Amino acid sequence: MAFRIDQIRLRQIALPLVRPFETSFGRTVERQIILVEAVADGVSGWGEVTAGEHPFYNEEWTESAWPILKHYAAPAALGRTLGTAAECAPLFDRIRENRMACGGLEAAVWDLEARLLGQPLWRHVGGARTEIPCGVSIGIQESVPALIETIERELACGYQRIKIKIKPGWDVDVVREVRRAFPSLRLMVDANSAYTLADADHLRRLDDFYLMMIEQPLAHDDILDHAALQAQLSTPVCLDESIRTARHAGQAIRLGAAKIINIKLGRVGGFAGARKIHDVAQAAGVPVWCGGMLESGVGRAHNIALSTLPNFVLPGDVSASRRYWARDVVAPPIEVTPRGTILVSGEPGFGYALDHDFLQAITVREEKLS
């Protein structure tokens, strides 16, 4: 069923977090999120741009994503008739990087196609499970007791694994205390590129705490040093920032730089890219899991759909709306079961109802392109 992209609407919303989220690269208090609406035959599909407010996780930020969408991605898609949503990503091949900007539109087109077919998005992208295992990502805290209290609260909600953010000065000693408090916890750490290979001896001390993995310890664009580090660690290395394409994934796996891969829809430019990385990893016997970027309900719902693909065998950073938002842009919000899972929706498209009044109230800019 072919469809023509008649209109693309960009909308930036301001959404304050219920509590600040701190990583090795900075602290986020309020999100500035671009939502993308793609329209065909009067039906709208929705996507979320996962760029942060600063170019600190990768090179993109809200203020770079808007003009990339307006001047490059939207013009490449507008008026085009697509045979399937899989034909969307190649329209952006000329645009170097800027995958989060393009990926917001690409995901909207997948949602649009699912809605035109009257199908749930998760089924449409090839999902194989109706219940996904969930973990949480816990930012850098004021103190170790505060961190332990936070972990207790998350475990009481049922979450199946805990990820803690680390950085130099908040790493081995913190993990030791957490491991002492929770001997059987499924625990992992994420450094967001805060170390170099010169820190290998220090990072090897984490091997004592039988972590599930250490995520992205070294440079955001590195593969080779991660391979060298993995050769010195028993803790599995998981790559996040370094993997943007299936080629990166294949090379990282071949070199021994990644025993696990975190797939984020935005970082890899949308569903087509995510599925390719998923398939490369699956063929190599490398498990993947779905990362998060402090998404609103729209991006969160897309992450749920992605997490239903067969090789998403580890709990992802896909959690309940209430951990981040006092009020989400979808109503009812996304919730987690007492066993730390999310049940996928059987509704068409991404499966949750948008709260249009709330969206309107928090919109800071809007533009319709056709």
Per CB under 5 A, 355 contacts Mg ion:
no
Binding mask 203-222 for ligand OSB (x = CB under 6 A): --------------------
Per CB under 6 A, 319 contacts ligand OSB:
yes
Through-space distance between the first and last CA atoms of the chain, rounded to whole angstroms: 22
91-125 as b/e: b if 16+ CB within 10 A: bbeebeebbbbbbbbbbbbbbbbbbbeebbbbbbb
Per CB under 5 A, 240 contacts Mg ion:
yes
Query: Which DSSP state fits 295?
Result: -
Per CB under 6 A, 293 contacts ligand OSB:
yes
Query: Which DSSP state fits 29?
Result: E
Whether 70 is catalytic is no
CA 141 to CA 96: how far, in whole Å?
36
CA 183 to CA 206: how far, in whole Å?
14
Window 207 to 226, contacts with Mg ion (CB under 5 A): 215
Count residues near ligand OSB (CB under 6 A): 12
Out of Mg ion, ligand OSB, none, what residue 137 binds, judged by CB under 5 to 8 A for its kind, is ligand OSB
Per CB under 6 A, 61 contacts ligand OSB:
no
Matching residue, tokens 């539109």: 105
CB 237 to Mg ion: min, Å = 12
Per CB under 6 A, 292 contacts ligand OSB:
yes
Residue 14 CA, chain-centre distance (Å), reads 19
Binding ligand OSB (rule: CB under 6 A), the pick from 37, 222, 225, 317 is 317
Q: How many residues does the chain have?
A: 370
20 preceded by a cis bond (ω within 30 of 0): no
Per CB under 6 A, 137 contacts ligand OSB:
yes
Binding mask 66-105 for ligand OSB (x = CB under 6 A): ----------------------------------------
Out of ligand OSB, Mg ion, none, what residue 57 binds, judged by CB under 5 to 8 A for its kind, is ligand OSB
Per CB under 6 A, 294 contacts ligand OSB:
yes
Q: Which residues pair with 263 in a beta bridge?
A: 290
Q: Looking at beta carbons only, is 297 or 348 nearer to ligand OSB?
A: 297
Per CB under 5 A, 113 contacts Mg ion:
no
Per CB under 5 A, 190 contacts Mg ion:
yes
Whether 264 is catalytic is yes
Is 128 exposed, middle or buried, given 0-12, 13-18 or 19+ CB atoms closer than 10 A? Answer: exposed
Stretch that binds Mg ion, among 112-120, 143-151, 183-191, 277-285 (CB under 5 A): 183-191
CB 118 to ligand OSB: min, Å = 30
CA 321, 326, 327, 332 dihedral sign is positive
Which candidate in 165, 167, 259, 276 is catalytic? 165
Out of Mg ion, ligand OSB, none, what residue 45 binds, judged by CB under 5 to 8 A for its kind, is none
Per CB under 6 A, 325 contacts ligand OSB:
no
The residue of the chain with the least Cβ separation from ligand OSB equals 292
The CA–CA distances, whole Å, from 290 to 18, 74, 169, 261, 266 equal 22, 26, 27, 9, 11
Binding mask 225-254 for ligand OSB (x = CB under 6 A): ---------------x--------------
User: Taking CA 189 as the corner, what is the angle to CA 185 and CA 195, rounded to the nearest 5 degrees?
Assistant: 155
The CA–CA distances, whole Å, from 62 to 20, 68, 122, 258, 287 equal 18, 10, 27, 29, 31
Residue 182 identity (one-letter amino acid): F
Chain residues that interact with ligand OSB, rule: CB under 6 A:
23, 57, 137, 190, 192, 240, 291-294, 317, 319
- Which residues carry out catalysis? 165, 264
Chain residues that interact with Mg ion, rule: CB under 5 A:
190, 215, 240
